[in-house]
Each structure stands twice: as C-alpha cells, then as structure tokens.
Amino acid sequence: MKKPLTGRRKQEASSEPEIDWEPMPRALSDYTGFVLHWTAELSRQMFEAALAPLGLRPFQIGILHLILSEGPMVQARLSDLLLIDKATMVGILNEMEGRGLIERRPHPTDRRAFEIHPTDTGRACLAEAQATLADAKESFFEPLDPEERQMLHELLRRLATSNAKAWTRRHAEDKEEDNAAAADEANG
C-alpha cells in the first residue's frame, strides 16, 4: 500500500530508497546561489539513498577515501578537510570504529592525539561504495554530456578554491585586527 503524499513527491518504488524532492520553485530559479544549494541538497539525498543499502553515509566515504589516499590523520584534520564540526566528527568516527571501518591509534609524536586508520573492512566497504556511487553519479549527471560534466566540475572547483582562499585571508585579517584591538585595550 502506498503512503499518502505529504506535499512532496516521494519515490515509492520498493527497490529505491525515498528521496524527499519536489521541483525547484520557479520563483527562485533565477538565483544562482539557490540553484546551487537546491542541486547540492538533491545530490546529497540521492547519494545518501544510494549508500543506504550498504549502511554507509557520504561523510563516511569521504573519511575512508581521505585516510586511504592521504594516509592516517588526526580527527581534527579530518574535521577541517570535510568541514564537519569536531563534535559531530567524534560521533561519526565512533560509529565507524564500532562497525570496524576505522581504528584509532595513538599518534606517534603527540600523546594527546589519535590517528585514524582504515581497516580491511573499511577498505572493502569503500570499494563497494565507490561502485555504487559510480552508478548514482551517472544517473545524477545524465542530463549533461561529458564536456558539460567536466566544465561544471572545473567551475565548481574554481569557485570553491578561490572563495576558500579569499575567506581564509579575510578571516586572518579580521583575527589580526581583533588581536590588535585587544592589545590596545590592554595597554591603555
């Protein structure tokens, strides 16, 4: 028996997880920031749905991919790279460790820190997830030809890189100004 619709179109096929989606509001479709947000949210839901049968989430795949490609790292570094707040990262890593996907090992030089290492189970899960995600990626980007996909990727990477650098510079300048103001207050 089908569930009643609640104002949102739901995928009802038993073979596919539900995605909470409805067409983009026309009134907002002229705003690039909204279109980018809407598309990112839809892709998040689609990739989460693709990973659900494996019992995995996109952040877990990102963590496994990072520690396999760049080597073990402390959880604070993972938080920074994946833009996940540190408290949330602890929960994600606890879950992953509980499932045997990663293990925490003492950092070789910092007694207070632990490095995150992949396990054989984590490696196997990542390989399976990558195959699943390849199918989901193909489905999501199907409306674009290969050149458009590459162009979209390059444009988004450029926006992310240049804006991250600019934000970091501004943030550092603001911090310097705050420190100078605090020093001025302390001195008189």
Residue 14: pLDDT band (50, 70, 90) is: very low
pLDDT at residue 73 tops 60: yes
pLDDT at residue 16 tops 60: no
pLDDT at residue 6 tops 60: no
Q: Give the helix/strand (H/E) hosting 150.
A: helix 146-187
pLDDT of 150-166, one tens digit each? 999 999 999 888 877 76
Token pair belonging to 111: 């007694």
| Over residues 34-51, mean pLDDT | 92
Look at residue 28 in the predicted model and tell me its pLDDT. 86
Q: Is the pTM of this model over 0.75?
A: no
Strands (E), 73-165: 73-74, 102-106, 114-118
pLDDT at residue 58 tops 60: yes
pLDDT at residue 173 tops 90: no
The whole-angstrom separation of Cα 51 and Cα 126 is 11
Residue 5: pLDDT band (50, 70, 90) is: very low
